Structure 1
Amino acid sequence: MTTWMRCYWDEEDVWFYFEVDAEGWVTRQIELQGPELTPITAASLDEWHLAQDAGRLDEYDKRFGTTSELPVSDWEGHVPEELSFDQFERVWDRARRQITARPS
């Protein structure tokens, strides 16, 4: 079962949005920074693997970032707020459009 959540890290003024699979691994991750909610990450684990297989991992990481390397169950001190699929998708679509529109 897939779940969607978000949490806020006030030290860096960043909202983290996560899509998490049944085993607790992050499959998509968004990071929005500052009062303007500027997207700094909008990464998909599936796309990351495809980029790795194609030898384009550095390019992918620079543009979209990466997903968490730990399952959610190993995180300390985070208090997630659950989201619906639609809530997550709206943020995902906006972040991806903004990141993709930037010059590479």
Structure 2
Amino acid sequence: MTRWFRSHWAEEDTWFYFEVDADGQVELQEPLEKPVAAASLAEWEAAQQSGTLAEYEVTFGATEEVAVHEWDGHEPQDLTAGEFEAVWLTARATCRARARARSAHGA
């Protein structure tokens, strides 16, 4: 069963959005809600195996290494699939655009 939720990490003033089972994750940094990462564990593992992990992480970031059940202590707020998907799609588009801009500028 897939679960969608978000959790606030007060120390970093960062929202983490999770899709558990499908391994999607979006990390938004407040107050501007600028996507820091929009990484999928399955994609991350595939990039690691293919030797393209550095490129993947530059574009989409990395998944959190903290087990999802540990987030329960951070008062997770349940989301619907649609709420998660809207944030996920926006964050992925932002990450791709940022990567294209870096590439165009030779960075």
**TM-score normalised according to structure 1 size:** 0.85
Preserved contact between residue 29 and residue 66 of structure 1 (Cα < 8 Å): no
Moved more, 68-77 or 27-36: 68-77
Q: Name the amino acid aligned to 1:7.
A: S
Q: How many residues end up aligned between the 2 structures?
A: 100
Where does structure 2 lack aligned partners over 5 or more consecutive residues?
103-107
Preserved contact between residue 7 and residue 71 of structure 2 (Cα < 8 Å): no
Structure 1 residues 50, 99: closer, same or farther in 2, change over 3 A?
same
Structure 1 residues 88, 76: closer, same or farther in 2, change over 3 A?
closer
Distance in structure 2 (CA, Å) of the matches to 1:74 and 1:16: 13
Moved more, 43-52 or 65-74: 65-74
**TM-score normalised according to structure 2 size:** 0.83
Q: In structure 1, what is the equivalent of residue 3 of structure 2?
A: 3
Percent of aligned positions with the same letter in both sequences?
Answer: 51
Q: Name the amino acid aligned to 2:62.
A: T
Q: Does residue 1:67 correspond to 2:31, yes or no?
A: no
Where does structure 1 lack aligned partners over 5 or more consecutive residues?
none
Distance in structure 2 (CA, Å) of the matches to 1:70 and 1:11: 15
Counting helix residues as a fraction of each chain, which structure ranks higher? 2
Distance in structure 2 (CA, Å) of the matches to 1:15 and 1:7: 6
- CA deviation map 1:16-37 (0-9, x unaligned): 100112xxxx711111112210
Preserved contact between residue 41 and residue 66 of structure 1 (Cα < 8 Å): yes
